[in-house]
Amino acid sequence: MSTPTILPLRCPGCGGRLHGLPEDVVFWCEDCHGLQELVGADFVPRQGAVAAPRLEAAGRLCHLPVWALRVAASWSCPDPVKAALLKGIAPPEWVYVTAFALHNAFYFGDPGLVFTQRRMRLERADPAPLLGCTRGLELAREFVEPHLLGILDRREDVTGLELDLSIGDAILWGIPYYDDGLTLTDGIVGLKIPAAALDELWTLRTWNEGRR
């Protein structure tokens, strides 16, 4: 694509209006609650769900996107000592990748990495708007191997380790966050991030206020 163009924000599935924040690559349909990712100049449907909160915190409830990618992973190492140590670590079924624009994510604690390390299993809740996805599926896949190796690296040096990995289903989860104005607290593990670290939070708040 070399010339400027405008794509209509219409759901290819149901014709409803698509909503998103200015830098989003995944858009939410207000009618069918489906998700459409912009790939090139086309919209591609993506599977989505909203996670039920496990804890409550002060502030307004909103949802921020995190990819969950089902993985089948196994590892081996020629060093028998390392192999024995790594054998005790079971590979996670899901790898989570943060999908919203969080400045300096690894400084505060990347939500996707934290969920992966804690091997979260999310439960579905009622549909809710899901905006703020600035990281598409293809980019999210790039994080799977580093996330997995990062888990192993915390236990044992991964030099010489051979990782066999395949990525299956992908779901874009809407993680509940409580916004108290200064801090956002996730409703799953209670991870806190400063509000100023979210580049699109101002626009998200304005959009949510408009819907209320």
Q: Which is nearer to other proteins, 170 or 201 (CB)?
A: 201
Residue with tokens 């990347």: 110
Q: Judged by CB under 8 A, which of 13, 106, 164, 166 binds other proteins?
A: 106
d(CA 119, CA 189): 11
Determine which residue in the list 13, 56, 76, 146 makes contact with other proteins, applying CB under 8 A: 146
Q: Does 164 bind other proteins (CB under 8 A)?
A: no
Residue type at position 187 = G
3-state DSSP of 198-210: ECCHHHHHHHHHH
- Binding residues for other proteins restricted to 21-60, rule: CB under 8 A: 21-23, 27, 38, 41
Nearer to other proteins, 68 or 140 (CB): 140
CA gap 123, 174 in Å, rounded = 11
Task: Please say whether the beta carbons of 140 and 60 come within 8 A.
Answer: no
Work out whether 5 is an interface residue with other proteins (CB under 8 A).
Answer: yes
196 forms part of the interface with other proteins (CB under 8 A): yes
Does 3 engage in binding with other proteins (CB under 8 A)?
Answer: yes
Pairing type for strands 162-179 and 183-186 reads antiparallel
Local structure of 119: helix, strand or coil:
coil
**End-to-end alpha carbon distance in the chain:** 37
Among 80, 90, 159, 212, binds other proteins (CB under 8 A): 159
Binding site residues, other proteins, CB under 8 A: 1-10, 17-23, 27, 38, 41, 101, 103-108, 110, 113, 134-135, 139, 142-143, 146-147, 149-150, 153, 157-159, 161, 193-197, 199-203, 206
